[in-house]
Structure 1
Amino acid sequence: MRDRDEAGRPRNARPRDEYGRPLPRGTEGVPRVPDDYAPTAEEALEEARKLLAAGRPFHAHEVLEARWKTGPDEERELWQGLAQICVGLTHIQRGNLSGAAALLTRGSARLGAYGSTRPYRLDLRALAVEADAVTTAIDEGNADAGSAIAAILTRLTPAPPRPLS
């Protein structure tokens, strides 16, 4: 029986390993994102960057998912796209390359819909292109989780402000 909150939504009670894989109940896993976590955009991005730098894209996904669930409705696609890219990286770590390619493609498409806008100074076009490059590496049999995480992390860093024209 799953733990549920007052609204009937499942809670994240089951312990997980560093790759986000479920562990048997009662096993000690790595710290999880609390169910009631409601980060600001800046907090979510900073924490996601830290987790990616530590090689923990599943946990970065949880942070970004918390933002999409608690942030403004008009930003839902942004946070879902970022979270999907992180789950794609998680699947590379776990060896599920077809799942990785599917999620990276979905995340890239969500971010691509933003065009050249730069919410939170993120170059979403470059991030989408990088996710597509990781998908190409998967298709070519050259996928490496560490390199893919590093490439996405580089693009998740805010771009310098654009000069006034």
Structure 2
Amino acid sequence: MTGRFHLERIGAEDPSDENRMSGYGLLNLFHCEVEYRFNTEDMSLEEAELYIRDVLNRLPDGTINDICKLAYEWKTEKILSDTVEYAAGLAEAEGRDILEFMSVGEVELFRNPYDQNDDILGAILGGGTEWDAENGMEIVVRGDKVLEVREYLGYGAFAIWTESDENE
């Protein structure tokens, strides 16, 4: 990607909380527009856009492979434990083909809650999967490293950092 990345349709996520902002932009991994959300007390609009452009939309092949591997493991465990009929091709999907059975609609951006000087931002890509549509999905990322791919738990920044990450 060349040039500057700009979120579009930027505004307050909740009129009662002027610090919660959201805007829309491309998420390259899933080739779709998503809603990016962040807290302006934690990061500026410019920091959010730079993280999206330089990190989330340029994930290294190894990180994408890790996302696919973790999704495959979750999918396989779920399918083996259920008697539900799944979409055609899902059982055989592996590698990057698994991305076709996943979707992301929102990305929450975070700064380390234990160390506001930590330059590494994190994100939770939220959406759904064909194998666990009931619970939703989270792809948890710190910097450009995937930490987890799992059903939605909603822990926010605390899924990315722990108190032991203070001043690392």
Question: TM-score by structure 2 length?
Answer: 0.28
More strand by share: 2
More helix by share: 1
Tell which has more relative contact order, 1 or 2 (C-alpha 8 A, sep 6+): 2
